Structure 1
Amino acid sequence: MNYQSILEEIKEEVYPYLREGKVANYIPALANVNPEQFAMTLTMFDGRQYSVGQADTLFSIQSISKVFTFTLALKHYGLELYERIGREPSGNPFNSLVQLEYESGKPRNPFINAGAINVTDVLLTYFKSSTSTSKKILDFMHAIADDTSIAFNDIVAESEMEHGFRNLALANLMKSFNNFDNDVMEVIKIYFQHCSIEMNTKMLSRSMLYLANHGVDPITGKTYITSQQAKRINAVMLTCGHYDASGDFAFHVGLPGKSGVGGGIVAVVPKMMGIAVWAPALNAQGNSLVGTKALELFTSKTGLSIF
């Protein structure tokens, strides 16, 4: 299959949609991003990469980081993690307080904001300090992407902190139900920090290979998590990775994936490749409008859906 020519076709076909959607303007540091950008990269198990568009341009991965913090928490806590965090789709917006209230402070899954904040709290308990927790998250990113240049964007993190009232409310609500161990402000700072990580589609697609290969990096041979844990993460990505549009994404694309309000989406084709796409303008549910369209075209043209 000629993946490069398929990506070129997709780029041409999504181009007319680049003026649709809106960038995430509730985070000032993201509001200034040029919405008419597009990049897509495939990384194969032998390390070959196929890219189109601005594949070298760094962007804020935002909620895609939740996949990696969930991986670390599951690695260190195992099934015990599910006592604090569920694994069901929420059917609600990613920052909803309502569901958290009537479900007694237990987040529905690790990919909505409340769940990811709770995961960050768990990691802080395990790694003992803010500095150590942030370092371990970044070290993990360096390893799975095989790139030590990946870094936090302090301007984005500070911008989110200044406007993070709802996320603070989610953390305080969990704290009120005794489902939170550490200082709320400390956890939220780490949470915004890992959301601010900057990567490009080449780095991101490479970083998904361990999830496409049962927890083992097919290039380095390093085992990060068990096959069972990788299966669980992929399942939660498929059912919960796109907030209240997760069913829609599974219906149209048919791959486990995770989106972020920076306009990035990652996906895996099991036993074959990692995929990353970036287009900053979002649809009504907070997912990349053109990115979703590109992935739908990719699975339609290649037949590489899991269904």
Structure 2
Amino acid sequence: MLCKTNQELLQYVIEAKKKTSFGKVANYIPALADANQDDLSVAIFSIEGECVKAGDVQTTFTLQSVSKVLSLALVLMDHGEEYVFNRVGMEPTGDPFHSIAKLETVKPSKPLNPMINAGALAVTNMIKGKDSKEKLERLITFIQLLTNNDHVTYCEKVAQSEFETSWLNRSMCYFLKEHRIIEDDVEALMDVYTKQCAIEMNCVDLAKIGSVFALNGVHPETGQQVIPKDIARLCKTFMVTCGMYNASGEFAIKVGIPAKSGVSGAILGVVPNRYGIGVFGPSLDGRGNSIAGIYLLELISSTYSLSIF
């Protein structure tokens, strides 16, 4: 392991915590505003099955946009690349994750990539299932396999809070419906999507997911090929190019690992063939990324030469 003890890792958490006062907890989803701005925790799970952790790693949080990587993997398994990428693109964007502007200016009118909200809505629409309940159950079962934890589910309070306030996402859905990118009933899609974003876990669970991607789709604890190798590669590539919203380029330079963030303060990190990393720090910068979480990953990546570049 890069850090031999939890105490060694804790020193980086203590240093990075100094950044929390410079950010703000997300409040546009009202239930997220309850988070403690000063929280910061991290778990690093190796492909050999070892784990080091620091901070209150048992604190649970919702995945929010981190879930976009996982729904993408499931949909690629359901339909294959051609079907999926006929409906959502592969290009990064400099716009905020919730921007609707490019849908009007890009031809054909499909989302630029699966990591922005419009693209994630299109992806969630593609999850196989006869109704919203079955689609959500399939996604949660898949995530339970990734975490090797059959207790993972969604937070009803956050899901309801998000469902009641997702007017911009609904607008995107109707635009995508007009252009035949999505076909489901919009409210049914929003029901699945808001519950997907509200899937809840802790840093160790998140680090285990990262270790599956690090090991090219094989779970280090069970030995099961949970994700086909080519799909794991595709997801890691999207994490590099689009995973940290419109700060993905800067993150690639400063940290240099595939990663996906969420406005809950979660960050999923992947060090190929070595580690999965789970971070939770709800104080966000202006782009919606965990301000202390990013700094923590900078410190760790710099100290242990984790950049893939």
TM-score category, normalised to shorter length: over 0.9
TM-score w.r.t. length of structure 1: 0.97
Aligned to 1:305: 307
TM-score w.r.t. length of structure 2: 0.96
Look up the SS of the partner of 2:69 in the other structure: helix
Look up the SS of the partner of 2:170 in the other structure: helix
4+ residue segments displaced more than 4 Å: none
| Pairs within 5 Å for 1:35-184 | 35-80=37-82, 81-103=84-106, 104-123=108-127, 126-184=128-186
Deviation at residue 3 of structure 1 after TM alignment: 3.8
Look up the SS of the partner of 2:75 in the other structure: helix
Q: How many residues align?
A: 305
Aligned to 2:210: 208
Take 1:213 and 1:172, find their aligned partners in 2: how far apart are those partners?
38
The aligned amino acid for 1:85 is V
The aligned amino acid for 1:2 is C
Residues 59, 200 of structure 1: 8 Å contact kept: yes
Deviation at residue 199 of structure 1 after TM alignment: 0.8
Aligned to 2:287: 285
Look up the SS of the partner of 1:187 in the other structure: helix
Is it true that 1:26 corresponds to 2:28 in the alignment?
yes
Look up the SS of the partner of 1:188 in the other structure: helix
Q: What root-mean-square deviation, in Å, do the aligned CA atoms of Structure 1 and Structure 2 show?
A: 1.1
The aligned amino acid for 1:11 is V
Deviation at residue 167 of structure 1 after TM alignment: 0.2
Deviation at residue 212 of structure 1 after TM alignment: 0.6
Take 1:16 and 1:115, find their aligned partners in 2: how far apart are those partners?
34
Aligned to 1:258: 260
Aligned to 2:3: 2
Cα deviation, 1:84-122, whole Å, max 9, x if unaligned, reads: 011110110001111112124301111100111001111
Take 1:141 and 1:79, find their aligned partners in 2: how far apart are those partners?
20
Look up the SS of the partner of 1:305 in the other structure: coil
Take 1:175 and 1:84, find their aligned partners in 2: how far apart are those partners?
11
The aligned amino acid for 2:89 is G
Q: 1:30 to 1:2 in 2, by over 3 A?
A: closer
Take 1:191 and 1:245, find their aligned partners in 2: how far apart are those partners?
24
Residues 6, 298 of structure 1: 8 Å contact kept: no
Aligned to 1:226: 228
Deviation at residue 2 of structure 1 after TM alignment: 3.4
Cα deviation, 1:235-293, whole Å, max 9, x if unaligned, reads: 11000001111111111110000000000101111111100111101001000000000
Look up the SS of the partner of 1:202 in the other structure: helix
Residues 211, 219 of structure 2: 8 Å contact kept: yes
The aligned amino acid for 2:126 is V
2:246 maps to which of 235, 244, 247: 244
Residues 44, 276 of structure 2: 8 Å contact kept: yes
Look up the SS of the partner of 1:208 in the other structure: helix
Look up the SS of the partner of 1:91 in the other structure: coil
Q: Which runs of 5+ in 1 are unaligned?
A: none
Residues 21, 289 of structure 1: 8 Å contact kept: yes
Take 1:204 and 1:277, find their aligned partners in 2: how far apart are those partners?
8
Identity %: 37
Deviation at residue 165 of structure 1 after TM alignment: 0.3
Residues 145, 226 of structure 2: 8 Å contact kept: no
Q: 1:2 to 1:32 in 2, by over 3 A?
A: closer
Residues 122, 181 of structure 1: 8 Å contact kept: no
